[in-house]
Amino acid sequence: MIKISSEDEKKKDNITRIIVTNSESMLPSDVMMKVYHSSSDVTAKETCFGTMINGPIESVNKVVEDVVSMDPNHIFVKDRGFLPGDERRCRSSRGGGPRPGFHFLREEVNTLPLISKGLEAYYKGESPSSGFEAKQKLDAFKLKYIIESEEM
Amino acid sequence: MAQIIIYPTTSLILSDLVRRFGHEPLVMMEQIREKINTVGIDSPPLNITGQEPKKGLKYAAVEVPAGVRGRMALVGPLIDSAEAGIIVDEPDIAFGCMGCARTNELTKYLIRQRDIPLLEIYYPRTEDEGKEFVKQIATFLKELNNNSKNSESEEEAN
């Protein structure tokens, strides 16, 4: 028989969110200050790609809402399954290197400036001048030219 | 508010936009959180145990590698409960460590097989594409709201 302690029950109601900042007018440290000022029952951890907030669902949602309202088009939020510093993910206990999921997050963070501009344009009611351009395959002659120029 | 399955299932951009426009994103992180917080014999639980490949049999045949079935045990229930979907086609990062290519193919296939509203789009590479990306997603999600309101009023009328 597995005993479920009250601490385990509490853990189940806790969630973790990652707040990624892509703003020219705000720093990740500003996000942290906002979290500290909220005096909610949450724990926060600043990392190289954003801020992780963990705590009861209502408190986390409230803090996230407050933080996003500072610059709605430049602050992005996603869920995280593991707790901040979880041994199964934290690189301090895994011998270094990027944690699983980091590369994808970094790739998306590079795209965030385009999304921010898209959001600004959407709320202003601007429409894009052109749609998606179809991806072109690399031309064989161009590839040959690149190879030959490398050999030179 | 509708439940939207997104692909890539861990996407920051998609989950943020879906929540921003008033819907609930169905994401892998939620499944992982539930899994690692559920107390069991193997506590603290591992990511994937021997049970997952068995559960994955609902979505993939027995000769499919256990890794694919294990992943499908987490992704499959999300697809089952989705009311609409957004797929970003050919994300560059899907070629590499974002899970295996076969799981990604199967996930997209199963989403397309469901008879639900679906938006297929590409990641933006230019500013104009960024505007188009946000506009298409926002329009799609707002239409879902309108459709659900219409169906509710029809039900009331009946």
Between 3.30.1490, 3.90.320, 3.40.50, 1.10.3470, what CATH number should domain B3-157 receive? 3.40.50
Residue of B nearest to A82 (CA): B33
User: Under an 8 A CB cutoff, do B135 and A20 touch?
Assistant: no
For chain A, list residues with pLDDT below 70: 1-12, 152
pTM: 0.86
Q: Which residues of A touch B37 (CB under 8 A)?
A: 8, 11-12, 14
Backbone angles phi, psi at B117, to 5 degrees: -60, 135
- pLDDT tens digits, A96-136: 788 778 888 888 999 999 999 999 999 999 887 777 777 77
CATH of the domain at A61: 3.30.70.980
A98 touches chain B (CB under 8 A): no
Say what percent of chain A tops pLDDT 90. 41
**Within a domain: A150:** no
CA distances for A56 relative to A53, B110, B130, angstroms: 10, 34, 34
Q: Where are the alpha helices (DSSP H) in chain B?
A: 12-20, 28-37, 51-55, 66-81, 101-113, 127-157
What ranges do the domains of chain B cover?
A: 3-157
CA-based max dimension of chain A: 72
> What is the DSSP-derived secondary structure letter of residue B94?
G
Task: State whether A79 and B30 contact (CB < 8 Å).
Answer: yes
- Both tokens of A28, joined, read 């990740």
Q: CA distances (Å), A94 to each of B45, B88, B122, in order?
A: 17, 32, 34
Tell me: pLDDT of B44 over 90: no
CA distance B74 to B70: 7
Element (H, E) at B49: none
ipTM entry: 0.86
pLDDT, one tens digit per residue, over B102-153 is 889 999 999 999 999 999 999 998 999 999 999 999 999 999 877 777 777 7
Q: Is position A130 within any domain? A: no
Q: Is A151 on the interface with B (CB under 8 A)?
A: no
Looking at the 3D structure of chain A, how many domains does it have?
1
Residue A70 lies in a domain: yes
B126: number of Cβ within 10 Å: 13
Chain B CB contacts of A126 below 8 Å: 131
For B7-37, write each residue's pLDDT tens digit.
Answer: 999 999 999 999 999 999 999 888 888 888 7
Range of the domain at A42: 6-124
